[in-house]
Amino acid sequence: MVLSGGDGLTRAFVCVVPERGAAEALASFMEGLRRFGGYKWVSADGIHVTLKFLGDVTAEQIQKLDTSLSRLGGTRPFGVSASGIGFFPSPRRPKVIWLGVREGVPNLEKLARFVENAAKTAGIPEEKKKFRTHLTLARARDERDIPAELAGELERTPGLSWTCRAFVLMKSVLTPSGPIYTPIREYPLD
């Protein structure tokens, strides 16, 4: 496992990644939205449901987390569907445009609690915000109202459906053209 950057830390998170076909269908739709300036749209490889953002962690913390995450048992694969657009912090001047999860929320919440507990045993600080199931579609480059034309396009955002068969410990490297995500390890569901 190649983990850390020059400072010995790895920026990481734990997530659920949609099946390839589902992510590609959503990314294809978003390709048409790139004409709206001021937003950084997520690529097909970047679409995921974050269970926990870990921040910058040490190799030792990742090793402890990996050991704990490997112990999940009794969780069967489950269906996930996502539809409906939302905004953080509000629709008025959103910083994030997201797709809401409709089916599979209790199972994702259960996974998030498991990951939170595993992270705590690895010495990673507890998340202060309430877990909210969503898939980020875009981030605003600055504070702005959503143009009416974009709002109309967002109403046509297709939904996603897939079977969650695993969750992933993911490395994130920030670059000027956007983050690069590399799986550290995948944890299959029973």
At residue 180, the pLDDT reads: 93
**What CATH superfamily is the domain 9-188?**
Cyclic phosphodiesterase (3.90.1140.10)
Q: Are 88 and 96 in contact (CB under 8 A)?
A: yes
At residue 91, the pLDDT reads: 82
At residue 141, the pLDDT reads: 87
How far are the Cα atoms of 32, 85, 149, 165 from residue 155, in angstroms, in the given order? 13, 7, 10, 29
User: Domain residues of the chain, as ranges?
Assistant: 9-188
Count of CB atoms within 10 A of residue 132's CB?
A: 15
At residue 2, the pLDDT reads: 44
Q: Is 141 exposed, middle or buried (0-12, 13-18, 19+ CB in 10 A)?
A: exposed
Phi-psi region of 122 (alpha: psi -120 to 50; beta: other; left: phi over 0): alpha
Q: Is 48 a catalytic residue?
A: yes
16, β-bridge pairs: 49
Q: Is the peptide bond before 89 cis (omega within 30 degrees of 0)?
A: yes
From the candidates 14, 15, 48, 162, give the one annotated as an active-site residue: 48
In whole angstroms, give the CA distance from residue 43 to residue 119.
27
Q: Is 134 a catalytic residue?
A: yes
Low-confidence ranges of the chain (pLDDT < 50): 1-2
How far are the Cα atoms of 121, 124, 134, 179 from residue 9, in angstroms, in the given order? 18, 13, 27, 16
Angle at 62 between CA 56 and CA 68, to 5 degrees: 135
Q: Residue holding tokens 């459906």?
A: 161
At residue 135, the pLDDT reads: 96
C-alpha Rg value of the chain to the nearest Å: 17
At residue 92, the pLDDT reads: 79
From the candidates 80, 82, 111, 134, give the one annotated as an active-site residue: 134
pTM of the model: 0.92
Of 81, 70, 101, 73, the residue nearest 169 (C-alpha): 70
At residue 37, the pLDDT reads: 84
Alpha helices in 70-101 (DSSP H): none
124, containing H or E segment: none
